[in-house]
Amino acid sequence: MKRMTPAMLLKALTMFRGFTQTAAEYLRDKERLRYLLAAAVSIAQGRGGKLLKDLQLLVRLLKASVSGAYTGLSVHKLVTIVAAILYLISPLDVIPDFIPVVGYADDAAVIAWVLNSIAQELRDFKSWEQGT
């Protein structure tokens, strides 16, 4: 996969930040959130690999948090995750998804940024899932 230039990464993160208000709206509407998560998983299944695995983890975390079963995540972090998923499914990307091989680089970069920003929360969630 082609690496993104710093300018491209900055543009992707700026676009991502634009999704945060919409993300908060999704968190208030569980049915709408459910459809968003299903669409994101469907897209990730088409791409496979690490993106699919990472997205499945984020979806499990969101579902457990929104249902109230898991309480270890702040609303800010929930909004961040949903905003990243909105970026993933958005047709408006820094690198259009239809470009072979490189089209997903910006999506992967945004998801990786979110995973890094919530790394401790993900470790805590995995421990919670395993019952430890």
pLDDT for position 77: 96
Which pTM was predicted? 0.84
Tell whether 71 is covered by a domain.
Answer: yes
Average pLDDT over residues 17-28: 92
Domain tally, the chain: 1
**Residue 1 domain flag:** no
Q: How confident is the model at residue 18 (pLDDT cuts 50, 70, 90)?
A: confident
pLDDT in tens, 57-85: 999 999 999 999 999 999 999 999 999 99
In angstroms and rounded to an integer, the radius of gyration of the C-alpha atoms of the chain is 14
| pLDDT band for position 94 (cuts 50, 70, 90) | low
Residue 48 lies in a domain: yes
Q: What is the DSSP string of the chain?
A: -PPPPHHHHHHHHHHHHHTHHHHHHHHH-HHHHHHHHHHHHHHHHHH-HHHHHHHHHHHHHHHHHHHTS---S-HHHHHHHHHHHHHHH-S--SS-TTSTTGGGHHHHHHHHHHHHHTHHHHHHHHHHHTT-
User: 31-62: per-residue pLDDT in tens?
Assistant: 999 999 999 998 888 877 888 899 999 999 99
Closest among 47, 46, 37, 126 to 84, alpha carbons compared? 37
Output the average pLDDT for the chain.
87
In-domain check, residue 27: yes
Indicate whether 31 belongs to any domain: yes
What is the domain range of residue 101? 6-129
What is the residue whose two structure tokens read 């259009």?
96
